[in-house]
Amino acid sequence: MASASLRPSLWKGAVAGLAGGLVGTWVKSQAEPVLQDLGERWFPPTHAEKERPGADVQGHPDRMPPSTLAQEATDVVGVTLSRDETLEAQGAIHWAFGTSAGVAYGVLAEVSDAEVGFGVPAAAVLFAATHGTTLPAADLQADPDRMPTAWWVWELDSHLVYGFAVDLVRRGVRRALG
């Protein structure tokens, strides 16, 4: 719950979470390629593994879940996106989701113990709820048990880094809001 010296406030939690979500999404975006390079150095994936939906953010950004979602959504209304448009839509979806998750986290931190572990456990839950279950079930990503080990390094770890960044910024903004 909010620090003992702060009275819980949903709107302050939301604002702090919004700031945290924006910074966390940026940090995750910067961490993914570095972590993918590390993961692939430690656990080199096969060509076939990198071809799986969601398995190669650098080489196949158009096969990542937000890109696939954008393509499928526009297919429904009969619009075909170019590769550049698909990647722009992917970015918008990535930022909207990351920021929204930050807002939700900020609100939850006001009324629960969500902030325990400086956002890392919450980020692990977010990973499990998205990449671990929902995205494969929606056929937007290959099942996690079919993903290369390197994917676990960059995808899971970038979520954990995201959660930590969200929480650090959220805590600072929340203190500033009083």
d(CA 173, CA 167): 10
pLDDT of residue 115: 87
Per DSSP, the three-state class of 22 is helix
d(CA 63, CA 59): 9
DSSP 110-140: HHSSTTTTTTHHHHHHHHHHIIIIIHHHTTS
Per-residue pLDDT of the chain (178 residues; tens, 9 = 90+): 655 578 999 999 999 999 999 999 999 999 999 999 999 999 999 999 999 999 999 999 988 999 999 998 998 999 989 989 999 999 999 999 999 999 999 999 999 988 899 999 999 999 999 999 999 999 999 999 999 999 999 999 999 999 999 999 999 999 999 9
